[in-house]
Amino acid sequence: MRKSDKNKDAESQILDAAKNIFQKKGMDGARMQEIADEAGINKALLHYYFRSKKLLFEAVFTNAFSLLAPQLNKILNDDSSIEEKVKNFTFNQISFIIKHPYLPNFIIQELNRNPEFFDTIKEHPSFPSLEKFKTQVQKEIQQGILKPIDGEQLFIHIVSLNLFPFIANPLLKGFLQKDDAQYKQLIENRKTEVSEFIIRSIKN
Amino acid sequence: MRKSDKNKDAESQILDAAKNIFQKKGMDGARMQEIADEAGINKALLHYYFRSKKLLFEAVFTNAFSLLAPQLNKILNDDSSIEEKVKNFTFNQISFIIKHPYLPNFIIQELNRNPEFFDTIKEHPSFPSLEKFKTQVQKEIQQGILKPIDGEQLFIHIVSLNLFPFIANPLLKGFLQKDDAQYKQLIENRKTEVSEFIIRSIKN
DNA sequence: TTATAGTTTAACCATTTGGTTAACAAAGAT
DNA sequence: ATCTTTGTTAACCAAATGGTTAAACTATAA
Kindly list the domain boundaries of chain B, sorted by start residue: 1-51, 54-202
Which of A106, A167, A178, A196 is best to mutate for the B interface (most B CBs within 10 A)? A167
Quick check: B185 contacting A, CB < 8 Å? Answer: no
Model confidence pLDDT, tens digit, residues B154-164: 999 999 999 99
Residue A2 binned pLDDT confidence (cut-offs 50, 70, 90):
very low
Q: What is the mean pLDDT of chain A?
A: 92
Higher pLDDT, A39 or B8: A39
pLDDT value of position A104 = 95
**CA geometry: angle A39, B114, A68, nearest 5 deg:** 60
**Residue B7, pLDDT score:** 52
Collapse the DSSP code of B203 into the 3-class scheme (helix H, G, I; strand E, B; otherwise coil) and give the result: strand
* Interface contact A159, partner B, CB < 8 A: yes
| Mean pLDDT confidence for A72-86 | 88
- The answer to whether A170 faces chain B, any CB pair under 8 Å, is yes
pLDDT at position A8: 60
In this predicted structure, the answer to whether residue B93 has a pLDDT above a threshold of 60 is: yes
What are the helix (H) ranges across A100-168?
Answer: 103-113, 117-122, 131-142, 151-167
Query: Chain A neighbours among B 121-140 (CB < 8 Å)?
Result: 121-122, 128, 130
Q: What is the pLDDT of residue B68?
A: 85
Please report, for residues A86, B12, B43, the alpha-carbon distance to residue A133 in angstroms, rounded to integers and kept in the order given.
Answer: 11, 49, 53
Q: What is the pLDDT of residue A51?
A: 96
Residues of chain B positioned with their CB less than 8 A from the CB of A28: 25-26, 28-29
Average pLDDT estimate for B178-198? 98
Strand C contact with B99 (CB < 7 A):
no
Q: What are the chain B neighbours of A34 within 8 Å (beta carbons)? A: none
The CATH class, in words, for A54-202 is mainly alpha
Three-state DSSP class for residue A30: coil
Residue closest to A160 by CA, chosen among B56, B123, B104 = B104
pLDDT at residue A4 is higher than 60 = no
Lowest mean pLDDT among A9-23, A38-52, A115-129: A115-129
- Among residues 103-122 of chain A, which lie with CB inside 8 Å of chain B? 105, 107-109, 111-113, 115, 118, 121-122
Check A153 against B186: CB less than 8 A apart. yes
Q: How far A27 CA sits from the closest chain B CA (Å)?
A: 9
pLDDT at A3 over 90: no
**Which pLDDT band, with edges at 50, 70 and 90, does B8 fall under?**
low
Q: Are B18 and B60 in contact (CB under 8 A)?
A: yes
Q: How far is CA B110 from CA B32, B94, B114, in A?
A: 17, 21, 6
Whether the per-residue pLDDT at A1 is higher than 90: the answer is: no
Residues of A (69-88) whose Cβ lies below 8 Å from B: 72
If you average pLDDT over each of A56-70, A81-95, B112-126, which comes out highest?
A: A81-95
B189 touches chain A (CB under 8 A): yes
Q: How many CB atoms lie within 10 A of CB B31?
A: 12
Percent of chain A whose predicted confidence (pLDDT) is above 70: 96
User: Is residue A108 within 8 Å of B106, Cβ to Cβ?
Assistant: no
**pLDDT recorded at residue B17:** 97
> Which among A34, A90, A113, A153 is the top mutation candidate for probing chain B, defined by the most B β-carbons within 10 Å of its own β-carbon?
A153
The answer on pLDDT for B196 being more than 90 is yes
Question: Which nt is closest to the CA of B39, judged by C1'?
Answer: C8
The pLDDT value recorded for residue B75 is 74
Q: Which residues contact B96 (CB under 8 A, 6 or more apart)?
A: B71
Fold assignment, B1-51: Arc Repressor Mutant, subunit A (1.10.10)
Which pLDDT does position B52 carry in this prediction? 97
pLDDT at A5: 36
Distance between CA atoms of residues B94 and B123, nearest Å: 26
